[in-house]
Amino acid sequence: MVKLYSLSLPILPRRILAPLPTNCFFQNFTLKNGDQPEYIHPYSVRSAAAGLTVCYPSRSHSPSFDIQTFAADLTVSSPSDAAAAGQPHRVIAFDDLSITLDISPSLRAFLVHGCPFVTVTTAEAAGPVDVSVASVHAFLEAAPCDDVRTKWRLQMNSGQTFLLYASAPIGLQQASVTQLATPGFSSVIRIAYLPDPAMEAVLDQYSRCYPTAGEATLNKPFCIDYTWRKQGWGDLLMLANPLHLRLLSEDCSVRVLDDFKYRSIDGDLVGVVGDSWVLKTDPLSPTWHSTRGVNDDGVDEVVVALRKDVDSLASSPITTTSSYFYGKAIARAARLALIAEEVGCPEVIPRCIAS
């Protein structure tokens, strides 16, 4: 079932004021003030106070959960937009794989799922604007890497190194220990975290091409086509999660960079060069039971676990009045009954049904 919701007027322009699907990857940018972080692999990104904050998140583990911690590693904003700091951003466009935000009157962000760069551009109508690059960490070094000042290395006391690329010369000056600033900039800024110095040459090579939109289409059975629109020059570099890599078809002309990796909560993200992917899975036939069956030497173990789960089910009758959680509970009971049927344990089926 697809759920729909409506968004408040300040966040969306009139041309896309319509119900939107929930559980999309950009949902936090549209709920309430839209100022909660959203994870777009490999970065967590937050749009608030007329600025865009980028975080390469750390993770905390326990037996019960695995969570990512948000920190304001880098925030891009324009001092010219200080008066707009109390206003929400505007969603200009969105699709399956991207969302475009006007984070302030002067700055626009193209946020594309699975991109190793975060891209911010100045608005065409704004002309040259002052730009601030700030951090919750102290800058130990902010130095240009070339004579034309289109690439900068930003090292923080957190031990992190970010690379900042610009499509025009940018003269960053250290305004404070946690803030860099440049006057009169009008172009594209791309930010990338550098997890390994060996990856810098790859980031350099693909820094001039950036995605602005992306679609996932179901054109053929058991296939998904990913296609990105792009601007700039050269080939497009994106990141694939472990499932993408497993399903990536030989029918598409992409190149996998096995040594180019970002960690994520969903496993390592590996570099893939190409603006069109084909993900293909083996055909699956609908069936009540498992497609591969249960090995004979594993049946006894499954039966023991099944009886334990059915006992737990029987001791906790379904009492919820929520259609959503009731549906989940019924589905669990039905699944246990099907497992019982497959492994030859029919005596527990009535208890599943009775629950």
Where exactly does CATH 2.70.98.30 map onto the chain? 4-210
Residue type, 298: G
Question: In the prediction, which pLDDT does 310 show?
Answer: 93
* Global pTM value: 0.84
Q: Measure the CA–CA gap between 46 and 118, rounded to whole angstroms.
A: 12
Distance of CA 78 to the CA centre of its chain: 25
**pLDDT band for position 1 (50/70/90)?**
very low
> pLDDT by residue (tens digit) across 132-154?
999 999 999 999 999 999 999 99
Rounded Cα–Cα distance for residues 237 and 229 (Å): 12
Query: Considering the chain, what percentage of its residues have pLDDT values greater than 70?
Result: 94
Q: How many Å separate Cα 113 from the centre of its chain?
A: 5
Residue 347 amino acid letter = E
330-344 as b/e: b if 16+ CB within 10 A: eeebeebbebbebbe
User: Do 89 and 81 form a contact (C-beta atoms < 8 A)?
Assistant: no
pLDDT classification of 15: cutoffs 50, 70, 90: low
pLDDT at 5 over 50: no
What phi and psi values does residue 84 have, to the nearest 5 degrees?
A: -95, 5
CA distance 292 to 35: 46
Looking at residue 169, its pLDDT comes to: 95
Tally DSSP H helices, then E strands, for the chain. Answer: 5, 25
Write down the mean pLDDT value for the chain.
Answer: 90
Confidence of residue 61 (pLDDT cuts 50, 70, 90): confident
Instruction: Kindly state the average pLDDT of the residues 302-326.
Output: 90
pLDDT at 285 over 90: no
Q: What is the model's pLDDT at position 330?
A: 92
Question: What tens digit of pLDDT does each residue of 315-328 get?
Answer: 888 888 899 999 99
3-class DSSP assignment, residue 126: helix
Tokens of 33: 């003030």
**Residue bearing tokens 């792009």:** 230
pLDDT at site 135: 97
Amino acid identity of 177?
A: V
- List phi, psi (to 5°) of 69: -100, 130
- pLDDT higher for 12 or 296? 296
- Per-residue model confidence (pLDDT) at position 185: 93
> Nearest-CA neighbor of 160 among 192, 198, 127, 123?
192
Which CATH superfamily, name and number, covers 4-210? Golgi alpha-mannosidase II; domain 4 (2.70.98.30)
pLDDT tens track for 38-60: 999 999 999 999 999 999 999 88
